Structure 1
Amino acid sequence: MENSHYKTSYKVRIADANSQARLKISALFEMLQEAATEHAQNLGVDFGSIAPLGLGWALTKMSVELYNLPKWNERVYIDTWPSERERITTHREFIAQSADNTPYFSARSQWVLFDLNTRRLARMERLKDFLRDPNKLATAETFDTPLKRPAKNSKYIECHVRNNDIDLNGHVNNSIYIVWAIQSLDDDFLKRMLPSKIQINFLEEVKMHESVKSISEIQDNMSLHSIVNVQTQRECARINIQWQQI
């Protein structure tokens, strides 16, 4: 259904590029989040529209397949649309490419509604449904396979939540979890490797004045990450990243 799709574009700014002039992974997540938000505004289900209902959106799972990371000053064209809907989850798809249709990346995401007061999940039926294209998926990801967790004795770094990490929902924005994960990897590794697939499960929100341990382990061409709240000792996110040589 073409009218269920939303198309937009973004230029890779200097602040979005890493030392190799490629799009930062955290900036990629911000780009997808922005496209989803713009479409939600058009559909009347963005933060400003549902907050008066006591509701908010939370990203729970994301899977990104990367083919060519765009570089500084290049423009990224994104097609996004809602696909499947279940009792407490909804899925959104993304396809990104260049002006000449060179594929950049594709992504599937899973979102939930939550009650802003109780912080508990809310059923999708609390919102009137919107146009979808359930027969078209961006990737073959099903979100059924559990993500691997690093070994208990794996190395870690400690990260403290900053004011700038907090978003409209009053918790750490999803793009920051990727920053924490990448920071735990050695510089030499990052200089010679590029991500080819990123899978992340968001398990629990992190708030202001909290700290996390970013635990990581490398197994062959994959890095395994676990983000653990220092105060509660509960796992807040699990991330698996597949890498390839530059």
Structure 2
Amino acid sequence: MKMTHRERFVVKFHEVDFRGKVKLFTIMDYIQHTAEVHGTSIGLGFENMMNHGLFWVVSRMKLNMERYPGACEEVIIETELAGCEKLFCVRRFTILDGKENIIGNATLYYLMVDAKTKFPQKPKVCPIDIINVDVDNKGHEGLKKLKMPGDEPLVINRALYYNEIDANNHVNNAKYVSFVEDCFSLKWHEEHEIASMQINYVKEIKAEDTLKLNIYSEEVAEKIYYINGTNEDSSLEFFQCKVNYR
């Protein structure tokens, strides 16, 4: 079984922002596509998992970007299975440009969920052995829970729109990246870019939900923000995020 896989993409004009650089949302799309293709090839794709009464959900993700390619540049996404941490199944990604220079990386934590009960399952019930994968964990950080700072947040109320709802009647996890980016003005994005972003997905956002974004600034470091998405009365949390700009 091949534990690594790579896909090549060419950045299209509609995938860049006003600076002419690929959007982080697009990179997340590339990452998900690469994971889906690799998963299908080794028996972990949607159809095969559903035949076993299981499906995957992304629980946590972290993206680090050193450079954002422009339109017509090539982007290579390389992925590998990286073992398990408790209930989480880990997949790592290396992001390269067309000259094979590393320009970023990502880690995604997946949960394997029972299709009927919707409860997370232990990795040992996976159709293939993902527990005993030979993994080099040296230098790789785990994705921990995020805690919002205690200061008063800036609050943005946001409706959900047609293009943000997928075939499962909820927001695809790549869209959360856009939610975070949209918390900041065009002026801010003219002068800053995202160096890293971690999102912990707590509960799915459905079409009928209304999203309240609570934005906290980091007290001890500039350009670091914590954001959590809740419903209007804040009794239900959808996601947590830490974003580091440079």
TM-score by length of 1: 0.89
**Aligned pairs, number:** 242
Q: Which residue of 2 aligns with 1:21?
A: 20
> Residues 92-131 of structure 1 correspond to what in structure 2 (within 5 A)?
92-130=91-129
Is 1:135 equivalent to 2:138 in the alignment? no
- The SS at the match of 1:50 is helix
Q: Which residue of 2 aligns with 1:237?
A: 239
- The SS at the match of 1:209 is coil
CA distance in 2, matches of 1:40, 1:183: 31
Segments of 4+ moved more than 4 angstroms: 130-133
Return the letter of the residue paired with 2:108.
Answer: S
Kindly report the root-mean-square deviation, in angstroms, between the aligned alpha carbons of the 2 structures: 2.2
CA shift in 2, pair 1:235/1:16, >3 Å: same
Conserved? CA contact 1:181–1:216, under 8 Å: no
> Residues 1-246 of structure 1 correspond to what in structure 2 (within 5 A)?
3-130=2-129, 133-137=133-137, 140-144=140-144, 146-149=145-148, 151=150, 153-219=152-218, 220-230=222-232, 233-244=235-246
Listed as ranges, the gaps of 5+ residues in structure 1 are none
CA shift in 2, pair 1:16/1:7, >3 Å: same
Listed as ranges, the gaps of 5+ residues in structure 2 are none
Conserved? CA contact 2:151–2:216, under 8 Å: no
CA distance in 1, matches of 2:208, 2:174: 18
Q: CA deviation at 1:59?
A: 0.5
Conserved? CA contact 1:150–1:216, under 8 Å: no
CA distance in 1, matches of 2:134, 2:103: 23
TM-score by length of 2: 0.89
Q: What's the % identity of the aligned pairs?
A: 19
CA shift in 2, pair 1:87/1:149, >3 Å: closer
